[in-house]
């Protein structure tokens, strides 16, 4: 799917789900913290929205990010080749982030494929409380920063963290870093005991 086709799909989906909720463009704009002009441009397929904008829209509309990027389907059975995934973020140095597949909330899950070029960093916004991100590094090394804590994750290592704080991924080595990411969106009450806020800890 090229950029123009993706803009068409996103615009049609935003319009369809907004109307299904009975919302005006002003209501949607207020719900997701965007301007009405941005909503109009997206629905008229004149915009290439950022990942942050897409996340805000999907959260307000109550759908998974992947649903915003796909044509309407029947019952939920999805099968696709990895090379068919959409790159939602890229840099001139060759970094990219591809959303492979996902499910709608509640209990929404997204599976991402990432490559970070040497020296590149991705800064992630805080997700709703109860969201976790799990990262598995396939090659290279990754510095994951959550709030004020940084963790070095190397090839064949895995890290999981609560993603309701700003977080970032950085490649500080000389080779590209490949990793997979699973994002699970849930409520704080759904979190298993090790992740609940039962007291401050530091390391």
Residue 134 near residue 158 (C-beta atoms within 8 A) = yes
Structural domains in the chain, CATH included, are 3-68 (1.10.260.40), 84-195 (2.60.120.10)
- pLDDT at residue 187, as a whole number: 60
Predicted TM-score (pTM) of this structure: 0.67
Tens-place pLDDT, residues 57-105 = 998 999 888 889 888 766 567 777 888 888 899 999 999 999 998 887 7
Q: Distance from first CA to last CA of the chain, Å, rounded?
A: 44
Q: Which two tokens stand for residue 139?
A: 């090659």
């Amino acid at each position: 799917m090229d950029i123009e086709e993706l803009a068409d799909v996103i615009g049609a989906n935003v319009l369809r789900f907004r109307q299904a909720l009975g919302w005006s463009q002003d209501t949607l704009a207020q719900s997701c913290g965007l301007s009405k002009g941005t909503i109009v441009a997206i629905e008229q397929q004149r915009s290439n929205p950022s990942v942050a904008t897409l996340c805000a829209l999907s959260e307000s509309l109550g759908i998974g990010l992947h649903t915003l990027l796909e044509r309407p389907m029947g019952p939920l059975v999805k099968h696709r080749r990895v090379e068919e995934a959409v790159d939602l973020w890229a840099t001139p140095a060759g970094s990219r982030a591809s959303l492979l597949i996902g499910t709608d909330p509640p209990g929404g899950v997204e599976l991402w494929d990432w490559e970070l070029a040497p020296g590149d960093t991705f800064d992630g916004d805080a997700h709703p409380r109860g969201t976790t991100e799990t990262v598995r590094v396939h090659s290279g090394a990754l510095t994951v920063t959550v709030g004020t804590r940084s963790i070095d994750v190397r090839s064949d290592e895995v890290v999981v963290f609560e993603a309701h704080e700003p977080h970032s991924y950085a490649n500080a080595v000389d080779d590209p870093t490949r990793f997979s990411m699973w994002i699970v969106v849930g409520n704080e009450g759904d979190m298993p005991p090790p992740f609940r806020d039962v007291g401050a800890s530091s390391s």
